[in-house]
A and B are shown apart, each in its own frame.
Chain A
Amino acid sequence: MDILVALENNSGSIHRMSLEALAAGQKLASEMNLSLSMLVMDKNGGDLAENAGKFNAEEVLLLENPLLDNYSSDGYSQAITSVLEQEKPRFVFMGHTYMVRDFLPRVSARLRIPFISDVVQFRVDDGTPVFTKQVFNAKLAADIVSQSEGTTLVSFQSAAYQSDQAEAGAATIRSISIEMDSSVIKTQSEEPFKEEAGGVDLTNAEIIVSVGRGIGKEENLPIVNTLVDALGAELGSSRPIVDSGWLEPSRQIGSSGQNVAPKLYLALGISGAIQHVVGMKGSKNIVAVNKDSEAPIFEIADYGIVGDILEIIPKLSEAVEAAKN
């Protein structure tokens, strides 16, 4: 097998980031004429495998083992190692999730194979896949190639590829098994729990609505919150808003704040000074609204509207709600 996409479970459905990895895998498969399979190893594996079977691939490997019912770094790294030893794929594609960060490097160590992590895109140069990763806090990019003659592990950054680009099709489900002793698992995990977040972590948000000086007064912020809710977004801001005490510091985006690269960054009343831009220019899609047509933010925006944000925001909220229904 050439490409193996390992799927993660997210509350009963296939994790969005796994579908993104699948889309990437299918793209590589078609460009290089390679075969692609998926792997499911999960408590509710059967259901997940069935869903996976509706995507375009050769096979869905289903691994069911009670030792894998709950995630453990020991269990998963052992299991994947065994699967790779059996199936010997050229590539393993996964989403760059917390879980993958936790166990996949151990697989790299056990099999002495490279793990190219947090990739944002790939291309094929003369028959060699070249993976691109952001480096130095997303200031620069690096092209990386594998020198492995065996398997290469790759994980993809959130929203690097689109989950809805994963092609539908039909894949056969094949059950597989591995040898694993319970002594493999050397850790005891307790129940996961949720906690009040200390500060807001904008780095995982898919959509960020960000507000700048153009908002004028603190009293105008509620209309932004309405839009945030309508879009299911997180609220961010440029520095002056935080300096004025209108929002807490964890909302600040920029060189002295958070560094974000969401799927959509909506910059409202933000001029685009370099200190702010370096914190968000990696965003996949940037929409800017500003009343100054010369504002530097328009140079990095995908879509721009020259206008009064105090008028536009409420109308946009309404239109978004309508579009959702």
Chain B
Amino acid sequence: MRVSSDHSWIDEASVNFETNESDSYALEEGLQIREKNGDGEVVVISMGPEGRTQKVIREALAKGADRGVHITEEGPSETDPLRSAGVFAKALQEEQFDLILSGLQSLDLGMGQTGVILGELLGMSSATLVMETEIGENSIRVKRELESGWFQWVTLSLPACLSIQSGINHPRYPSLKGIMGAKKKEIKTLPKAEIIESNVNQSITRVYSMQKAKQTEMITGDIDQQITRLVEALRTEIKVL
């Protein structure tokens, strides 16, 4: 992976694109909830340029999603989560989903916000770091991950927006018939430029390699002297003791 020559982003030609790993878990959870519920429609939405975004949506359709929405994006990728979520909210608000699932965060910026903001803009109840779901009549009970090995079950009213933690399930593989069938499923396209807000709330000014100005202190002396110096460093400089 290389930074683009103007340091505004990465050089996209230097990498391979694939479905964001967290999102695969979210999709799988959606497909499983539909299976447990007996029926329902699973829709996928993604924003980005032609080729790679269509590929990601088709892969989801091959796995069992029913239809897709592609927000076509020309030019640099959106990096303001408020704006991204705003676009999705506009594209989806007519549809009135019972559940919106998103991955915990994206590999690129890793803000971890878009899904939560989207839920809020659509007036849905919200939970993050979801490890397990139990769909009910008008509610959904979810297990949230807390810090340090703690968990908590929370019941939310529908409609609900959940951000899904990785490892919650095992994403299925698309079958051959699924891949063939995906070609016939609908993908609606909508240009980002038509629905995005003009307001930019935060922006990236520079992308670069973080080179730590590393001065390595090679600790010398006999073994006891080395240990003494190291412990001193651990105590006073690194401050872990």
Contacts and interface: CB of A to CB of B under 8 A. Distances in A.
Indicate whether A and B are direct neighbours in the complex (CB within 8 Å): yes
Interface of A: 73-74, 77, 97-98, 101-102, 105-106, 108-110, 112-118, 130, 132-137, 139-148, 152, 162, 164, 186-195, 197-198, 204, 206-207, 231, 263-264, 282, 285, 287, 298-307, 311-312, 315-316, 319-320, 323-324
Contacts of B231: 316, 319-320, 323
B137 interface: no
A105 B120 contact: yes
A303 B217 contact: yes
B82 interface: yes
**Could you tell me the dominant secondary structure of chain A's interface residues?**
mixed
Given A140-B209, A141-B207, A204-B148, A146 B201 contact: yes
B152 A190 contact: yes
14 contacts: A77-B120, A102-B116, A114-B82, A118-B110, A141-B210, A147-B201, A164-B239, A195-B149, A231-B240, A285-B238, A301-B214, A307-B226, A319-B228, A319-B230
B233 A303 contact: yes
Counting chain A CB atoms within 10 Å of each CB, the highest count among B111, B150, B206, B209 belongs to B111
B208 A140 contact: yes
A112 B82 contact: yes
Contact of A102 (B3, B82, B128, B204): B128
Closest A-B pairs by Cβ, 10 of them: A109-B120, A114-B201, A105-B116, A114-B202, A105-B113, A141-B210, A109-B117, A192-B152, A190-B153, A106-B120
Given A110-B120, A316-B231, A140 B152 contact: no
Contacts of A142: 109, 204, 206-208
Interface string B101-121: 000000111111100110111
A303 B128 CA distance: 39
B118 to A, nearest CB: 8
Nearest to B148: A204
B126 interface: yes
A194 B148 CA distance: 9
Contacts of B112: 101, 105, 117-118
Counting chain B CB atoms within 10 Å of each CB, the highest count among A139, A162, A298, A303 belongs to A303
B101 to A, nearest CB: 15
B81 A115 contact: yes
Contacts of A105: 81, 112-113, 116-117, 120
A140 B3 contact: yes
Contacts of A305: 218-219, 226, 230
Contact of A106 (B109, B116, B208, B212): B116
A140 B126 contact: no
A109 B82 contact: yes
Contact of A143 (B144, B155, B204): B204
A299 B156 CA distance: 51
B223 A307 contact: yes
B113 A115 contact: yes
A303 B152 contact: no
A290 B68 CA distance: 53
Nearest to B161: A106
Contact of B241 (A132, A285, A306, A323): A323
